[in-house]
Amino acid sequence: MLRSLLAVPLALATLAAYPATQQWPPPESPVIPAADGYVVIPGAAVAPDKGHKYLAIFDATRRAEKPTELLPALNMAGSELNAFGVAGVPLSHVRFAVVFHGSALAGILDEAHYRAKFGVSNPNLAVLEQFRKAGVELFVCGQNLASEHVDPATLAPGVTVASDALIVLIAYQNRGYALLSF
């Protein structure tokens, strides 16, 4: 009992040492406006480095929770592009690729087919176009298309049909790309 009574003042003293609220600037989204923004953290460890080359392959397997939301992989890749944009890292130092398969496949349907499936406009199309302009390579698993009987002509423009998502992931990791899965 005494130990419990002593723990309360210690916990209160510890909490009092921290400010109640931190005033953070609003996040910025200069590269991919629809994706999550980036907040500069002063003095943070492992901040973006303007001189470093960043290589990442995003394994896009999850669908969005709602058809009006971005695919998780597009939001995460976009938020990282925003981070590098805010930090002043040139896009020429950022090499990203995304490979779609699994339930993420529906998110890369063209407007007509997405609207027919979900009854709403495809929120991913503008982001896919922004990715292409930023030099992001976009792939879809040919094996997934074949097994689901999806016509490649129903996909968003600029998405390249690959032989197999796992082969893309292996090949890019062998080239030094970090694997990020969403």
pLDDT tens-digit map of 56-94: 999 999 999 999 999 999 999 999 999 999 999 999 999
**Per-residue pLDDT at 22:** 77
- Rounded mean pLDDT, 98-105: 98
Give kind and range of the element (H or E) at residue 94.
Answer: strand 94-100
DSSP string for residues in 110-136: -HHHHHHHHSS--THHHHHHHHHHTT-
Q: Which CATH superfamily is domain 52-181 in?
A: DsrEFH-like (3.40.1260.10)
From 15-29, 35-49, 54-68, 117-131, the region with the lowest mean pLDDT: 15-29
Give domain limits for the chain.
52-181
**Per-residue pLDDT at 14:** 44
pLDDT at 21 over 60: yes
- Rounded mean pLDDT, 122-151: 97
Confidence label for 12 from pLDDT (cuts 50, 70 and 90): very low
pLDDT at 10 over 90: no
Q: Which amino acid is at 77?
A: A
Contact 113, 143 (CB under 8 A): no
Q: Longest Cα pair distance anywhere in the chain, in angstroms?
A: 72
- Rounded mean pLDDT, 11-32: 72
**Per-residue pLDDT at 20:** 57
Taking the model in full, what pTM does it have?
0.86
pLDDT at 11 over 70: no
Confidence label for 5 from pLDDT (cuts 50, 70 and 90): very low
**Per-residue pLDDT at 19:** 56
Percent of the chain with pLDDT over 90: 87
pLDDT at 96 over 50: yes
- Rounded mean pLDDT, 110-130: 98
Q: Which two tokens stand for residue 123?
A: 């929120």
